[in-house]
Structure 1
Amino acid sequence: MRSESPINPQFFLDARLRAFILGIMVVAFFFGFADQIYNRNFERLHIFLFNLCAGGFIILYHTENTARPSFRCYLFLAASLLYALLAFFNLYPPAALLSLFLGVLVETIRTRVFPIIPHDLFDPSVPVSDKYHHASILCLSLALFIATFVLLNSTALHWLPYKSLTLNVFFLGFSFPVSLITMSVMFSFIRRDDGPLSHLLQQAFFWLINLGVIVFFLFIIFEMQLAKVTIAVTLFLTVLLIFAFFLRLGMNMQQKQFLLSGMVFLVFTGITGIFYIILARYPAAYEQWGRLLLSCHAYLSLYGWSLSGLLILIRWNDFPLRLNSLLIIFFHWLVIGILAPIGKTDPFTAVAAVICYCLFLHLFFAETKVRPMNGAQQHERR
């Protein structure tokens, strides 16, 4: 959250807009299992719909901080949906042009709120929640610009010969902006009166996460296996430290429970990521367990950690909610931690996962805001 600009009190209160964005998330979740119905790689569509279309729209709408999304936001949503379809059908030349257009569109929104040159990221006086927010939208535009080059390099230019520099590998980069906006949400609930050590740690966490992910992506491109394990372990340890930090200094609010659950998802994302990198060195074991482990990693990251932050952001003006937080969190773990990964290889579990995912979203959004009691009600309770 930009500290000097609290979230607009009308942010995401439009029920139809909420339903549409949640619908995209449900469709994205469904496409994660669609290859069991029709033998085609739906993974790209699954990732794009959640990260770029739904996640990107939420980031831009949040950045504008207006009661209703602007025309630019809606244009991004429509163009990103078209982009996801073009990429899915391997129509790379028009997808590259659209990716470039989307990157420019994101920049027109970013530069209205944040500096054109992101010098605020290096300013120690800027709250870390604001830095994560700026880094999120900046990474979104950079991901789109880089995707333009990746698409052209794969089809026409062939300037860089690295076999890992493909859209199938690179589309995972669209998950980073959504992860960063969740970090922004989480760090907005950190107490700000705990002295210089707390401030220093938050700044260190910010750079460790951002530089770590960027370096990790470069190691993937250059296929540096040992370096990938090293940076993955470093990121995992950083996540553990952030988890302990938030557990200690996070404000005691209902949102903290959901964010702590999201952090546990992120911890397990780190564990599965490390094991997946190691497993890739053993072909027999990788053939047997690789897909299940990668599915666990993806679902824990996207629909566990990132979704936790996005849901809190969408319902920002509704908290505190009249619901059993622990029960909702348990159900979230059942769907994402167990049913979804198993559903990648079992169609009946996949159907159960999609149904339970819809039920989870319904339970989270059906409950209303807790209304403050008037004097007579308080006296009656006493």
Structure 2
Amino acid sequence: MKSTTKIQLSLMMFLEFFIWGGWFVTMGTYLTQTLGTDGAETALAYSSQSWGAIIAPFIIGLIADRFFNAERILGVLHLIGAGLMYQLYNAPDFDAFLPYVMGYMIAYMPTLALVNSVSFNQMTDPAKQFSFIRVFGTIGWIVAGLAISYVFLWDSADQIAEGALKNTFLMTGVASAFLGLFSFTLPKTPPKVSKDEKIKIGDIIGLDALKLLKDRNFLVFFLASILICIPLAFYYQHANQFLTEINVEGATGKMTIGQASEVFFMLLLPFFFKRFGFKNTILVGMLAWAVRYLLFAYGDSGELAFMLIVGIALHGICYDFFFVSGQIYTDSKAGERYKSAAQGLITLATYGVGMLVGFWVAGKITDHYLVSENVHDWRSIWTAPAIFAAGVMVLFALVFKSEKIEYKS
């Protein structure tokens, strides 16, 4: 791969995740403290991610893979996203905000697959080359968080009170417009499927992989993946709101520690996977979710602030040891025939169904423990997903039978 192509793909990946990390992390804080939403309304806004994940395969399967170059669709979707971000920036209340965020995530979620397609199409050895490109996405997410907290100070108490977090939508809108235009300069990635070739809806959403559920172990893993997304939703939806509400300075910047740990534990995963096996690896990931939420429940912004930092830093174990090892497990169980369908089915089940339920549950519980305006009983709120994650871990430990899975790095 040419060095110029590497630079292009790296910049593409940086911007892709700079955009997502630049508004999604702080949206809960913005909605509750600027637009005055309750937990249920905040959950409805975050559910846009799940609806986007559910609809994305149809955009990719029915349009991107059949009629247009991937880089062109990527450009069009990000230009649409830029316009929607500008509307979010100007939205005066939640009723005006909601349809735009729903529309935005329907446009954005397919781009996650498109940037991968554009990248893989230029690679001679994806197993070795993709990780170098993909890490720039994590860097982009981190840079967005650091900029919000330490450059613009938009998540400081006085700036939040003035509604400064609305600027995150303007910032990411500009980045989205740039990426949209830049995408048309990316290497050509033609359609994978002939427009005349018949395609089944079942192929798009991975229904062929349902045959794998006849395997008892895979069925247990599949159900556990959906269930663990319920406590996962609490973090995405309420972590930034929680940290800012208890007066943690530079909350968004501190949350980037989670992305840094994700890179570190991704490097550690092959060793752990080979040494302790799939079952133990995924159990550690589940345990990390429970421990993280207990640290949030009993930590504070004073002397116990280190507990919050440790909880954030556990993100690498939480995500890599469960979701990445789960992708490896799915790949090994599916084989060549159902490989793509199985990954699509797991994505639909987790980011679609699991997190959709999780956002709703998180909103209901947060509303239940509202003490006064913008003051919550966070200890009780975080205890709920901690207990749930621990329960899923125990059930998985008892029901899933150990089996040897090869890790292909």
**Same structural fold, with TM-score higher than 0.5 when normalized by the shorter chain:** no
Q: What TM-score bracket applies, with the shorter chain setting the length?
A: 0.3 to 0.5
The TM-score, its normalising length taken from structure 2, stands at 0.33
Greater RCO, CA 8 A, separation 6+: 2
